[in-house]
Amino acid sequence: MKKILVTRKLLKECEEKASKVFDANLNSNDELYSQLKLIELSQGHDAVLTSLTDKMDEATINKLPDSVKVISNFAVGFGNIDLEAAKKREIIVTNTPDVLTDATAEIGILLILGACRRASEGIKSAKESNWKWSADYLIGKQLTGSRLGILGMGRIGQKIAIIAKALGMIIHYHNRSKLSEEKEQGAIYHDSLKSLFSVSDVLSICCPATKETVNLINKETLEYFPTGAVITNVARGDIVDDEALIDALNRRKIYAAGLDVYKGEPNLNPGYQKIKSTFILPHLGSATKHTRTAMANLAIDNIDEFFKTGNCINKVN
């Protein structure tokens, strides 16, 4: 029986599955392992089932034992893993696509609504019982008729587009390549960031975190947006230069921000806390029981598939 290290606590039924399929070394206390401890614990194991909280950089991967043949990431993303370093060590890396599309898209829509309709301010006032209705009280931005720019029109971006279109938004997008008419469903393609951002009343960031997308939202690109635009991020925190966005919010160049992800999680840049027009969640994109169960089971199945067949359909390197 193959031996695997599971770096974070999974839902009970998923841990039971892992223990049936493998000799699973589970993290019962959900301790956030240091890179050094992860390396130590991986000794004698055949695979590591990682989480986005695990920084699998080149130095860490180079110190993994030769017995490790698979890193199965419990996420659709894999920005926490140095793919090239893994490839050089002949370690395959897998992810969990498809299964979290709907849940993450729902949070994407929640961010748009929360930021545009000043939900954080409203919740605070309601809880403090200090609000009084007036015709101009907490006036926000209406979605109907506004232009939604989607940065990264993959599965999640496409699902957000479907829901947003039903809410009356006009969909624009930028992608590495233009989609087929069937997948576009009437969305307008832009071949450059500047073109997309310049028409985006609201932006939904859905692109992968790569070396090319780090700080893609920065001091320069923020100036492309119409004054009063709203920026939301359901992808990865590394895509946004926090200081630049905070400055744009303070200058009112950007009206509001909705973030489910941000740099340094769980430590939020204090600049955001001083701005009323931020709607911020603690990385809830995939946080439904159905989705988290499906993700963990797929991460387990990816390892099982590799050891049975020598390959895996969800291999990313």
- Give me the pLDDT at residue 117, please: 98
Query: So what's the pLDDT on residue 159?
Result: 98
Q: Report d(CA 9, CA 24) in Å as an integer.
A: 12
CB 60 within 8 Å of CB 291: no
Q: Which secondary structure element, helix H or strand E, spans residue 233, and what is its range?
A: strand 229-233
265 is catalytic: yes
Q: What is the DSSP letter of 122?
A: H
Predicted confidence at residue 79, as pLDDT, reads 87
Contact 200/225 with Cβ under 8 angstroms? yes
Which candidate, 145, 102, 96, places its Cα nearest to that of 314?
A: 96
Q: Which residues, 6+ apart, have CB-to-CB distance to 22 below 8 Å?
A: 1, 2, 3, 4, 47, 300, 303, 304
Query: What does the block give as tokens for 293?
Result: 């169960």
What pLDDT shows up at residue 215? 97
* C-beta of residue 18 within 8 angstroms of C-beta of residue 6: yes
Closest CA to 187 of 206, 209, 213: 206
**The two three-digit tokens of residue 281, written as one number:** 């969640």
10-residue mean pLDDT profile of the chain (317 residues): values are 97 98 97 97 98 95 98 93 97 96 98 98 96 96 98 97 98 96 96 98 94 95 98 96 98 98 95 97 97 98 98 96
Q: Are 92 and 315 in contact (CB under 8 A)?
A: yes
Residue 203's beta-bridge partner residues?
149, 231
Structural contact between residues 152 and 129, judged by C-beta atoms closer than 8 angstroms: no
Whether residue 290 lies in the annotated active site: no
Q: Of the candidates 237, 310, 295, which has an alpha carbon nearest to the alpha carbon of residue 72?
A: 295
Q: Look at phi and psi of residue 65 and say left if phi exceeds 0, alpha if psi is from -120 to 50, else beta.
A: beta
Q: Respond yes or no: is residue 31 known to be catalytic.
A: no
**∠ CA 155-156-162, rounded to 5°:** 90
- Give pLDDT, residue 261: 97
DSSP 56: B
Tallying the residues shown for the chain, one arrives at 317
* Residue 12 neighbours by CB under 8 Å, 6+ apart: none
Are 212 and 187 in contact, with CB atoms under 8 Å apart? Answer: no
CA pair distance 70, 90, nearest whole angstrom:
9
Point out the catalytic residue in the list 236, 243, 292, 305: 236
- 138 DSSP assignment: T
> Rounded to the nearest 5°, which phi and psi values hold at 36?
-65, -45
Burial class (CB in 10 A: 0-12, 13-18, 19+), 310: exposed
Residue in 8, 155, 283, 292 annotated catalytic:
283
SS3 content of the chain, % helix, strand, coil (to 5): 35, 15, 45
Record the tokens describing residue 69, joined without a space.
């043949």
d(CA 24, CA 10): 12
Full-model pTM: 0.93
Domains of the chain: 3-97+288-309 (3.40.50.720), 101-280 (3.40.50.720)
